[in-house]
Amino acid sequence: MLKIENLHATVAEKPILKGLSLSINAGEIHAIMGPNGAGKSTLSYVLGGRPGYEVTDGSATFNGQDLLAMDPHERAAAGLFLGFQYPVEIPGVSNVQFLRESLNAQRKARGQEPLSGGDFLKLAREKAGLLKLDMDMLKRPVNVGFSGGEKKRNEMVQMGILDPKLAILDETDSGLDIDALRVVGDGINTIMRRPDKAVLLITHYQRLLDYVQPDFVHVLAAGRIVKSGGPELARELEEHGYAEIAA
């Protein structure tokens, strides 16, 4: 589904990713762990097409398409979802309005009919219920006045509504209390653990991986994947720290 080869990327002319390769198949959940500054968020933004994140070498294909040649909204329509580490507050723009327009823009790009207002609200209510987010919050301006945990749950509600093929979740677990972590973990499993979908979890901690069992764990250090393994690698990291494993 996603094939990254020898990816090099710079931010403000500073090299961050230095030859990263990674392959993710449908039905798989991958976790990327790594110390601060390793390039985890940069990887997610490069794959999400954020302006200012310059790819200098290498390639990334998504279901056979050249991902790096696509605009952010085209990546979304192709089925890529980026869960933000710091979801953005947008005063004056209601969640439901923007999500409905987003979903319908994606559907239009895929040649599908737009979803009616009634059908959309039904869908939104279902996903909000799944993440235990009050429907009233979805009617409020995007993330404005939301707590850290509510913002992350809102990201997952968005993921549920947009129904992507591949979700890249950048530290979705940070800022969550134990109960919210379970809710978010269950949400990820319900929405994304399917034979035709895949997830790339970016995280610092083992905690989230107790709820969302990864099939593969990778260690990212200094812009490259330095070690890959099964779920047991995450526990090893937790025990011994990055310094020892990544060395």
User: Which residues here bind another protein, judged by CB under 8 A?
Assistant: 48-51, 71-73, 75-77, 82, 84, 87-88, 90-93, 97-99, 101-103, 105-106, 109, 141-142, 158, 162
CA gap 106, 112 in Å, rounded: 8
CA gap 230, 236 in Å, rounded: 11
Contacts of 187 (CB under 8 A, 6+ apart): 130, 131, 153, 156, 159, 160
* Complex with another protein: residue 121 or 226, whichever CB lies closer: 121
Q: Which of 178, 133, 175, 137 is nearest to 156 (CA)?
A: 133
CA gap 170, 192 in Å, rounded: 15
Minimum distance of another protein from residue 199's CB (angstroms): 16
* Complex with another protein: residue 43 or 219, whichever CB lies closer: 43
Minimum distance of another protein from residue 146's CB (angstroms): 14
Q: To the nearest 10°, the Cα dihedral for 220, 160, 114, 45?
A: -20
Minimum distance of another protein from residue 41's CB (angstroms): 13
Minimum distance of another protein from residue 105's CB (angstroms): 5
Cα angle value 219/224/225 (rounded, 5°) = 35
* Complex with another protein: residue 73 or 139, whichever CB lies closer: 73
* Complex with another protein: residue 171 or 214, whichever CB lies closer: 171
* Complex with another protein: residue 108 or 240, whichever CB lies closer: 108
* Complex with another protein: residue 31 or 142, whichever CB lies closer: 142
What would the two tokens of residue 195 be? 């034979």
Minimum distance of another protein from residue 141's CB (angstroms): 8
Minimum distance of another protein from residue 92's CB (angstroms): 3
Q: Which of 180, 182, 241 is nearest to 33 (CA)?
A: 241
